[in-house]
Structure 1
Amino acid sequence: MKQLVNKLKGDRVIWSFVALLALFSFMPVFSASSNLAYIGHGTGNTLGYLVKHLAHICIGFLIIYWVHRVPYHYFRAISKIALPVVWLLLAYTLLKGTVIAGANASRWIQVPFIGITFQTSTLASIVLFIYVARYLSKTKEENEPFQTSFVQLWIPVFITLALILPANFSTTALIFAMVMMLTFIGKYPLKYIAFIIGSGIAMLAFFLLVAKAFPDSRFFSRVSTWESRILNFTTDKPDEDDYQIEKAKIAIASGKLGGLGPGKSVQKNFLPQSSSDFIYAIIVEEYGLVGGVAIVILYLLLLFRFVIASHKANTLFGKLVVVGLGFPMIFQAMINMAVAVELLPVTGQTLPLISSGGSSIWMTCFSLGIIISVTKKDEEVAEELEEKERRKEALQRLIDKELAEEDLAGNEKEEIFEEEPMYSIEDNSKNPMNAVLNK
């Protein structure tokens, strides 16, 4: 075990927080999966869901380990190549119209021959954030005109968002907000950022107008869902989402301070998506306000560690990568918890590293692997500097030793010359060779 830990490079604090969140996830997932176990005349056995979640977590940590060993600057070039591939996947996802268990799941595609469903927008967000970080770090010292940056930066951003928007508004809004934050941190001109925000709002308004004009089109089928969720959030109109929120609030109110205890949730049997979108409500019901606050603190500490890692990164690209991949993870967690307590409309965002699900866990772990790779590079640079200092000190000690030996040898020679008398040709009487010559 000690050897395995020693092989883990990078920020050990980030490793620790990720491990804590993953370990904590097993109890609420095991408990909240009971309603899934009864769906379709099931037996109610949740052990299979626990094993499945364990497999997802184990694969996720393998992803972190493999990715963190790759130098993070490799992803700089990969993002430019991967972005068109992501567009093809998003277009395929948009056209495919996958249905899972009779429900609209147009945000997912099914991987052939494996049967795993995969949400392409999560991969698209990672690639897009790295691409934006790459562009901002490349143009830091260059004053490119807005027309050039619009073509190289904003057209790829808008293409990606346009392919995600019809199926997932909340993810589109989150990605757009994070891109704006990245450009602000990357010191992109504020007047251009304001123009892009205005353009994004105008494009969204145009999309909604077209959706109103063609309400029966499959591409605009999610617009009515968005409207109902917003209306349900702002009014008292009963709806399916209202049912979810009511059950979530009952679960939170039942938890009180200390909770009902692990596995003793009642609302998990009535709350849809209790193991994914609304798992925070089950956590508060079983572990109380103490457990709910503890989860919030863990995510905030992880955010604080991301800030430290970004500050320590020795390149602008590394700083932006940590911000672009780390901050959305925390904001997604806050959105999930805000939905559970009805501070935001229902969005369908999972709780990173805690909610059940394969692709969401794996993409989160992929992002964490890249972030840890940045911190690992910083460690390597620090170790190289320390090694250079050690070598410099060793070389200096060696030079000092040689100089000391030379000084000692010089002193001994001087002493010899002082002790042995020097004889001249004239003073033959004192010359010891005369005795030999005389014989």
Structure 2
Amino acid sequence: MALSRADTSTLGRWWWSVDRWTLAALLTLAFLGYIMVLAAAPAVAERIGASSRNLFFAKQVFFLLGASAVMAGVSLLSPRGIRRLALLGFAGALVLTAATLVIGAEVKGARRWLNLPLVGSLQPSEFLKPCFAVVAAWLMAEAKSAGRRGWAAWGMVLGLYAMVALVLQRQPDIGMLLVVSAVFFTQIFVAGINMLVVVALGGLGASGLVGAYFLFSHVQKRVNQFLYGEGGASYQVDVALEAFGAGGLMGVGPGEGRMKNVLPDAHADFVFAVVGEEFGLLVCLFILALFTFVVVRGLTRLLAETDLYVILGASGLLAQFGLQAFINMASSLHLIPTKGMTLPFVSYGGSSVIAIALGMGFLLALTRKRMNRAEEGTLR
């Protein structure tokens, strides 16, 4: 039954206040994720000797259904409710991320995963990203509203960032640290901090990148492979580029791709290459357009917003969403050094897809039309 504008129920108010265009774009991406895992996952499962060819596909259907429920449920909250949930989520994710350094499963020299009863494998740092973006936005808004007395809030947000950076560096997960830092610096810039401070922080970030190159051998290897071709280009990138070339404009057809049979992580980090081979350039451009639409639409919604907390929170979440999509697609196309990062909603992954849904739920809640701010319960 259609919801009337006169419907004052929670669901009715949500339907007429949420950005339905953004919601539709996100659900379309989730549907594409279902299609692409259906296309790529069986070949991967068979290659690694999984108990069933449909193992990854069945799991991803469960993940996507859970993600859709999380996104819808979180989008019902008020900005104040979002702040509270983000604070709890940040505290829990930070503790669990720190726990990976002690009891985490080591994979390829890094400790990023926890094996938990009932839950299974969990990458808690994925949940740090959206939760920290909202917490940082709240503290920055508090600091700006306090004027010269806001030094305590600034000190707190910088301290929290330092804690997150330290934990991610120790895992190590330099790619995740890069995304968190880029989003954090974006929020600082949007907050209107003195340009000298912004330039100084930018210099600090650049120094960190240079330091990562010299301190972490896997970072140096990937950068050298990208810039100089040392040791030959990455096998995965070679196969991915071959897949894009084979797909051409229209693709070879759903399920007809061959590169997924030999491409490691074809269902996860390199799912965009499977899209390119089986569905062609046009569908790749459509996916790119969907990500662009979500980011631009979100920023447009903020033009009429006056609450700094909402502006900073939504800006950080949009920067995070867009940057993660860019990193995945650009590394698949060999435009940047390879980085194991999923394509939001399209790649296989439990922790990743649920965390992204949480972040987009935050975004939908923050950008809802609030005709009655006292009823909606804003931050202040």
Q: TM-score when scaled to structure 1? A: 0.76
Cross-structure match for 2:46: 38
List per-residue Cα deviations over 1:204-260 (Å, max 9, x = no partner). 666777x5xxxxxxxxxxx22112111111122336x71001000000000111110
Matches within 5 A, 1:106-145: 106-111=111-116, 113-144=117-148
Contact 1:146-1:192 within 8 A present in 2 as well: no
Q: Is 1:47 equivalent to 2:54 in the alignment?
A: yes
Separation of aligned partners in 2, 1:340 and 1:365: 23
Contact 1:10-1:374 within 8 A present in 2 as well: no
Matches within 5 A, 1:181-196: 181-196=186-201
Q: Is 1:331 equivalent to 2:323 in the alignment?
A: yes
Separation of aligned partners in 2, 1:33 and 1:319: 38
Give the counterpart of 1:224 among 217, 220, 224: 217
Deviation at 1:323, TM superposition (A): 0.9
Give the counterpart of 2:275 among 283, 306, 328: 283
Separation of aligned partners in 2, 1:145 and 1:134: 16
Contact 1:86-1:123 within 8 A present in 2 as well: yes
Deviation at 1:372, TM superposition (A): 1.2
Query: 1:234–1:93: structure 2 CA closer, same or farther, 3 Å change rule?
Result: same
Deviation at 1:109, TM superposition (A): 1.5
Matches within 5 A, 1:148-163: 148=152, 151-163=155-167
Cross-structure match for 1:429: none
Give the counterpart of 2:353 among 335, 358, 361: 361
Q: Residue 290 of structure 1: SS of its match in structure 2?
A: helix
List per-residue Cα deviations over 1:159-212 (Å, max 9, x = no partner). 111111232111111111111111111111221222233344456666777x5x
Cross-structure match for 2:72: 65
Q: TM-score when scaled to structure 2? A: 0.88
Matches within 5 A, 1:414-433: none
Query: 1:5–1:146: structure 2 CA closer, same or farther, 3 Å change rule?
Result: closer
The answer for unaligned runs of 5 or more in structure 1 is 212-222, 385-439
Deviation at 1:114, TM superposition (A): 1.2
Cross-structure match for 1:374: 366
Q: State the Cα RMSD in Å.
A: 2.8
Deviation at 1:110, TM superposition (A): 2.0
User: Aligned partner of 1:87: which letter?
Assistant: L
Deviation at 1:321, TM superposition (A): 1.3
Name the larger-Rg structure. Answer: 1
Separation of aligned partners in 1, 2:315 and 2:307: 13
Give the counterpart of 2:250 among 252, 258, 283: 258
Separation of aligned partners in 1, 2:205 and 2:374: 45
The answer for unaligned runs of 5 or more in structure 2 is 4-9, 376-380
Q: Residue 141 of structure 1: SS of its match in structure 2?
A: helix
User: Aligned partner of 2:147: which letter?
Assistant: N
Higher relative contact order (CA 8 A, sep 6+): 2
Moved more, 293-302 or 122-131: 122-131
User: Aligned partner of 1:11: which letter?
Assistant: D
Separation of aligned partners in 2, 1:206 and 1:340: 25
Matches within 5 A, 1:169-184: 169-184=174-189
Contact 1:313-1:319 within 8 A present in 2 as well: yes
Contact 2:226-2:337 within 8 A present in 1 as well: yes
Cross-structure match for 1:92: 99
List per-residue Cα deviations over 1:360-392 (Å, max 9, x = no partner). 11111111111111233x2443998xxxxxxxx
Deviation at 1:293, TM superposition (A): 0.8
Separation of aligned partners in 1, 2:11 and 2:254: 30
Separation of aligned partners in 1, 2:150 and 2:30: 44
Give the counterpart of 1:56 among 53, 63, 69: 63
Separation of aligned partners in 1, 2:75 and 2:229: 48
Cross-structure match for 2:23: 15
Q: Residue 33 of structure 1: SS of its match in structure 2?
A: helix
Aligned length: 367
List per-residue Cα deviations over 1:284-343 (Å, max 9, x = no partner). 111111111111111111111111222243411111111111221111101110001100
